Amino acid sequence: MTDRGWGRPFDDPIEVGRRKLVTLRDAGKYFAALPKAVHDAPAWQAAMEALILVAEQGGPTMLARIGIMRALNRHYAFNPKRKEPHWGRRKLKRDQ
């Protein structure tokens, strides 16, 4: 397998609805089929730059995969304060 080109597979396929993006070419076709409003979003532009960089310069496919996953999940925000840590708060002797 070559280290460059659009036919390179991702380490783990990306599932988008019923579709699976297995190669860089699949991801490029998916990107090209997006509506213009989504296509012009900054997250998708960054994902496409990473995809082209990996395909043409031979970078790691994980870079393109991360870009696409971030673009797909751009509306979900991570909230670290949504739960207490599993170990809970420490109880001090004076609080008993």
Residue-wise pLDDT tens digits, 81-90: 666 666 666 6
Residues 6+ apart with CB under 8 A from 33: none
Mean local confidence (pLDDT), 4-16: 90
- Cα–Cα distances (Å) from 2 to 5, 35, 62, 81, in that order, read 7, 32, 16, 44
Please report which confidence band the pLDDT of residue 94 belongs to, taking 50, 70 and 90 as the band edges. confident
SS3 sequence of 65-88:
HHHHHHHHCCCCCCCCCCCCCCCC
Asked if residue 50 lies in contact with residue 63, where contact means CB atoms within 8 angstroms, the answer is yes
Query: Does position 75 have pLDDT exceeding 70, yes or no?
Result: yes
Q: 0.85 exceeded by the pTM?
A: no
pLDDT at 76: 79
**pLDDT (tens digit per residue) in 34-49:** 999 888 999 999 999 9
Instruction: Give the pLDDT of residue 59.
Output: 86
